[in-house]
Structure formats: C-alpha cells, structure tokens
Amino acid sequence: MEQRTEQIDGILGKIEVFRQNHSRIVAGGKTVHIDPFRFDSESKDADFILITHDHHDHFSPADIERVANAKTVLVVPENMLAKAAAVENLVSKTVAVKPGEKYVVDGLEFETVPAYNVGKPFHPKSAGWVGYVLNVDGARVYVAGDTDATAEAENVKCDIALLPIGGTYTMNAKQAAGLANKIIPAAVIPVHYGGLVGREKDGFDFEKQVEGGIKVVFKIRF
C-alpha cells in the first residue's frame, strides 16, 4: 500500500493544471497537453495535444501554437476534424477519436469517455465529445472534460481524476464530489473553476464533500 501511495504521489508531481481544463502531464519521456488555454509561455514542448471538445476555452488555436512543434500529435473528437484543419500546419498529424474507445497513438495509451451534460444544452451527447483516461506510468489518469456525472463517468476506473467543479456548463462542487465518491480514485484534482466559471472557494467546498480516503490535490492556477 505504501509503495502504491508513493507511485500515485510521484505521478501527481508530473501533473500541472493551468487555467480551465488545461493540464500538462509529463510521463514516460512524453509531454501531453490537454485543452491548452491562456497559456503564459511558448513552451513548444507538446508530444501530444488532446482536445476534449471545440468550445473556445478548450480548443484555442493560439494556445495550440504556443505548445506545439513539428512532431506534435493532435488528438480531437471526430466531429472536430474540420475545425482542427485550422491548426494542421502546427502539428505533425491529427488523429480523430470517438467516445468509448481504446487507442494507442505513437506509444500513448488512452481511452475515451463520453463527456456531456444531463439536463443542460451546452454539451450534448450527440456531439461525440470526450474525456480521456491516460495510462501514465502504470496508473490511470482520468481527465473528464466538460461533463456532468453521467453513467459513463460513474463507471470509470482510475487512480487519479481531474474533475470539473465550476457548475453552469459542468458539474458543480457537490456533484463532482459525488462522482469522486462513486469512482473512488486514490487522488482527485478539481479543475474548471475560479476563472470563466465558478469561484476560487469552490475547490474548498469540493474538498469538504469528498469522502475520506480520497486525496484532494489543488493544482489549478488562477
């Protein structure tokens, strides 16, 4: 158990969260950016860029340009291929994915999870948008994207979960805590709050409602 805790802590140290849903994961010698948005530097370090859906705070061509290089692989939901053409000159190739599938792309192993709203119109299930479960150094890291606590999300098996908590377009703090308590990751990182939606205090509201045994880790930069 202690060895597993050390492994999870080590992987947590390789995850950064910037604004909204923008995270960077460095593992296995590869750098993965998910939904780069309002990034402050031109890192040009992305081996992979994974996009969850096409809203402007998740698919930002200007921010893709800041992190992409000539070898970068761009991964997008299938219905985004036309939009992704706007940045095809910035990456080596674009790979389209569907919800509920398993993929190995240039050595990166991941699964896609449907990401959508229940009772809200902003992210319809029919759009085919996704969250990702990445295999990171032997652990499963779930980056949920903009979603509610759907049946598919409740069935995710993961060690670390990045869950949106800002409400309006996604789960709020209470709903996200309920999802965390259902899937029981070793650690959970709240995202998508304190900026365009939600308040900085939402993170603490979320933490109070997550059950014991699940480590809540704050990483987002405001």
SS3 136: strand
- List pLDDT tens digits, range 137-187: 999 999 999 999 999 999 999 999 999 999 999 999 999 999 999 999 999
Total domain count, the chain:
1
Q: Please report the pLDDT score of residue 2 as a whole number.
A: 67
- Give the HSE-up count for residue 161: Cα atoms under 13 Å, Cβ half-sphere: 29
The HSE-up count of residue 81 (CA atoms within 13 Å, CB side) is: 8
CA distance 112 to 91: 21
Query: Which two three-digit tokens encode residue 32?
Result: 């993965």
Structural domain includes residue 123: yes
Range of the domain at 61: 2-216
pLDDT in the model for residue 27: 82
Q: Residue 222 falls within a domain, yes or no?
A: no
Residue 221 placed within a domain: no
Alpha helices (H) along the chain: 2-12, 61-67, 81-84, 151-154, 173-183, 202-209
Half-sphere exposure of 80 (CA within 13 A, CB side): 28
Q: Has residue 121 been placed in a domain?
A: yes
Q: For residue 95, tell me if it sits in a domain.
A: yes
Output the DSSP codes for 81-130. HHHHGGGGGGSSEEEEE-TT-EEEETTEEEEEEE---SS-SSS-GGG--E
Q: What is the mean pLDDT of each run of 10 residues along the chain (222 residues)?
A: 81 95 92 96 96 97 97 98 97 98 97 96 96 95 98 98 96 98 98 90 96 95 90
Q: What is the CATH number of the domain that holds 208?
A: 3.60.15.10
Residue 162, in any domain of the structure? yes
Residue 113 domain-assigned (yes or no): yes
Residue type, 127: A
Q: Tell me if 159 is assigned to some domain.
A: yes
pLDDT attached to residue 195: 87
